[in-house]
Amino acid sequence: MFEIQPNDNPRSTGEMILGFLLGILASLGCLFFCVVLGMTLGGPEWLFPVINGLALFAVGIVALSNVRESSYYMGVLIAVSLVFLLNAACGVTLIQR
């Protein structure tokens, strides 16, 4: 009567957790890139979250374009999204000072 379709869920929890950790490492790499570039340019303090946001945006676009291929990219995308929100909150507090 009812046909039961097989579970075609390609997502793996272990791969997503490893991707999340990889996303945290990528976010730290963006932070170091931001600090080095910001110190080189010598701009105002609000420049640091802007550069970091652009770097996180680039990593997020790469992860989003590959998210259908592997669960690793889904974990990276989740981690980068959370760090991007934290970066935006820090940027807003720097602007309000």
What is the C-alpha separation between 38 and 48, in angstroms, rounded?
A: 6
What is the C-alpha separation between 82 and 41, in angstroms, rounded?
A: 27
pLDDT of residue 5: 59
pLDDT of residue 22: 96
User: What is the arithmetic mean of pLDDT over 64-93?
Assistant: 92
Q: Is residue 23 predicted with pLDDT exceeding 60?
A: yes
**DSSP conformation letters of 22-52:** HHHHHHHHHHHHHHHHHHHHT--TTHHHHHH
